[in-house]
Structure 1
Amino acid sequence: MKALQYRTIGSAPELVDIPMPSPGPGEVLLRVTAAGVCHSDSFIMGLPEDQYVYGLPLTLGHEGAGTVEALGAGVTGLDIGDAVLVYGPWGCGRCYPCSKGEENYCENAAARGIKPPGLGAPGAMAEYLLVDDARHLVPLEDLDPVVSVPLTDAGLTPYHAIKKSLPKLVPGSTAVVIGVGGLGHVAVQILRAITSCTVIAVDAAADKLAHARDVGAHHTVPSGPDAAEQIRTLTGGRGADAVFDFVGIAPTTELGSRTIAVGGDVVIVGVGPGTVAVGFFSTPWESSARAPYWGSRSELIEVIELARSGRITVDVERFSLEQGPEAYRRLHDGTLRGRAVIVP
């Protein structure tokens, strides 16, 4: 079968032919219908050799959708041809976080060598994908897999981040979204769908700010030296009740620190190296900073229901497997509108 793989440190991904997998006991083989392209992929492909821990060759793609092609021994509850989305952060299934569906925080995954598809295990940018357990599949039913596959990360990750701050996003509150690309433009929609807060979007690109307004942002602010003052003005001087940073580099984390209100949350979602200093003299009273990771299985179901009701949508650009390297170039250059999706 054809697969898009990262094969050499520092090189672009390559389209190759590899053997088609077959499901063992408890496993499910999917015929892939869509796979999402993510900044996390670019991040790991940009790591130097001494920091790269994901194995080579690596079939990319931690956002996956497909139809059930074959079932391993003992698998029940699925039929051949079922349309599904893949829940990506695989865990052991037995520890306390996993028992709550929070496999993104599994206590045993690292020690047991359990890795997500596309981030250690073979991913979805191939004609077929082997899934380790049926519990990692969520019914897609009649939703379009191409526009739905980003929900497994670009939808789930901001949803999880926002949901933890819901007690602070009450009527009259303000949320700031920094970076309105693949995840950020979905975050704006989620905030509008499940809260009554005012949403301020921040980005360096004028076209992304226009996109943010199109998907529901109340205000947009160009990133730069005046951004903090503009946010303070828009909030009547008090600052934001929650700042969701989808970039995570030093200038954006500093902006979050400077604009958070008393009791507010600074939430770093982006994989950049920025940090937030929290202390008696560095942040407002009762404010906090956290760095969430992905989301739970139950939250993915909730995200799918938001999409099914039409309250959130993901803007996508389609690419074939052969066009996969081009999709990553476009991602790196920042010329994508929304999310790139590979369609085998």
Structure 2
Amino acid sequence: MRAIQYRTIGREPELVDIPTPEPGPGQVLLQVTAAGVCHSDAFLMGLPREQYTFGLPLTLGHEGAGRVAAVGAGVDDGLLGVNALVYGPWGCGQCWHCAQGMENYCSRAADLGIVPPGLGAPGAIAEYMIVDSPRHLVPIGELDPVTTVPLTDAGLTPYHAITRSLGKLRAGSSAVVIGAGGLGHVAIQLLRHLSPARVIALDVSEDKLELARSVGAHEVLRSDAGAAEGVRRFTGPAGAALVLDFVGMQPTLDLSMAVAGVGSDVAIVGLGDGQAAAQVGFFRGAYETNVAVPYWGARHELIELVDLARQGVLDIAVERFDLDDGVEAYRRLLAGTLRGRAVIVP
């Protein structure tokens, strides 16, 4: 089969031919129908050799959708032909967090060597992929896998970050979205659907600000040196009740803390360069500002997102690429010229 793999430190990924895998006991073989491209991939491919821990060669893609083509021993063959999304943050299935469906926070994954597809295990940007357990499949029925596959990360991550703060998003409050790209434009739609808050979106790209407007942002601002003052003109002295930073660079973290109000939540979602840090403490922000680094989301939250998709709530902007053009999708990602999410269709 064909797959896009990261094979050499410091080089761009490659389209290669590799053996088609076979499912082992308890596993599922998925014929991939869509796979998303994410900034997390670019982050790991940008790591120097001494910091890279994901194994080589690595088949990329932690956003996956497909049709069940075969099952291993012990798996119900009634799954054959089912169209499903892949829940990516695999866990042990047995610890306290996994028992709550929060495999994204599995307490045993590191000790057991459990890693997500595309982030250690072979990923979805291939013609076929192995899913370690049928519990990591979320059926989508007749939904289009190309427009639905971003839910597995670009939808799930902001959904998890938002729902934990819904109690603070009352009428008259403000939510700030920094970065209106693949995850940010989904966050705007979720905020509009789930809360009465005024949504203020910031980005450095006029195209992405226009995308933010088109999906429902009440206000848009260029993310520059005057951004904090601009946000405060809309929020007033109360500041923002929730700030979602989908960039994660030092300037955006500083901006997040500058616009957050008393008792607010700041969610650092973007990886940035992996070096940035929010400055917290007395005289460094509003009182009782809660700063968190949420990671992906729970299995039940992905099921809820699929239900929202069935209701027509979400309109995720995607650019479709064939597998032959998948490397170009990564080039466009690095150049910042994608509108929404890139989806590769084998």
User: Cα 1:152–1:216, aligned 2, differ >3 Å: closer, same or farther?
Assistant: same
Q: Which residue of 2 aligns with 1:269?
A: 269
The answer to whether structure 1 residue 153 and structure 2 residue 153 are counterparts is yes
Once the two structures are superposed, residues 208-233 of structure 1 have per-residue CA deviations (whole angstroms, 9 ceiling, x without a partner) of: 11110000000001111111111111
TM-score (norm 2): 0.98
One-letter amino acid of the structure 2 residue matched with residue 125 of structure 1: I
Q: What SS does the corresponding residue of 1:181 show, helix, strand or coil?
A: coil
Q: Deviations over 1:70-101 (max 9, x none)?
A: 01111127421110000000000000000000
How big is the shift at 1:237?
Answer: 2.6
Runs of at least 5 residues in structure 2 that lack an aligned partner in the other structure: none
Counterparts of 1:312 and 1:274, CA distance in 2: 31
Structure 1's consecutive aligned runs of 4 or more residues displaced over 3 angstroms after TM superposition are none
- Bigger mean CA deviation after superposition, 281-290 or 10-19: 281-290
The residue identity in structure 2 corresponding to 1:105 is Y
Aligned partners of 1:305, 1:274: CA distance in 2, in Å? 35
Rounded Cα–Cα distance in structure 2 between residues aligned with 1:196 and 1:82: 37
Number of matched pairs = 344
Give the Å deviation of 1:306. 1.2
Q: Is the 8 A contact 1:319 1:340 kept in 2?
A: yes
Query: 1:281: how far off?
Result: 2.1
Q: Could you give the per-residue CA deviations for residues 303-334 of structure 1, whole angstroms, max 9, x where no partner exists?
A: 11111111112110111111111000000001
RMSD value, Cα: 0.8
In the alignment, which residue of structure 2 is the partner of 1:103? 103
SS across alignment from 2:79: coil
Contact 1:193 1:312 (8 Å CA) reproduced: no
Q: Which residue of 1 aligns with 2:11?
A: 11
For residues 11 and 135 of structure 1, the distance between their equivalents in structure 2, rounded to whole angstroms, comes to 35
C-alpha distance in structure 2 between counterparts of 1:51 and 1:132, whole Å: 26
C-alpha contact 2:71 2:77 (8 A) present in aligned 1: no
Deviations 1:249-281 (A, max 9, x none): 000000011111011111100002321122122
Q: Partner of 1:92 in structure 2?
A: 92
Q: What amino acid sits opposite 1:3 in the alignment?
A: A
Q: CA deviation at 1:171?
A: 1.2
Gaps of 5+ in 1: none
1:308 paired residue number: 310
Which residue number in structure 2 is paired with residue 136 of structure 1?
136
One-letter amino acid of the counterpart of residue 256, structure 2: G
Q: Is residue 201–residue 217 contact of structure 1 (8 Å, CA) maintained in 2?
A: yes
Give the Cα–Cα distance (whole angstroms) in 2 for the partners of residues 43 and 77 of structure 1.
38
Superposition map of 1:47-196 within 5 A: 47-76=47-76, 78-196=78-196
Picking from 268, 272, 292, the partner of 1:290 is 292
1:197 alignment partner in structure 2: 197
Of 326, 334, 337, which aligns to 1:335? Answer: 337
- In structure 2, the CA distance between the partners of 1:159 and 1:341, relative to structure 1 (3 Å rule), is same
Counterpart Cα distance in 2 of 1:73 and 1:325: 35
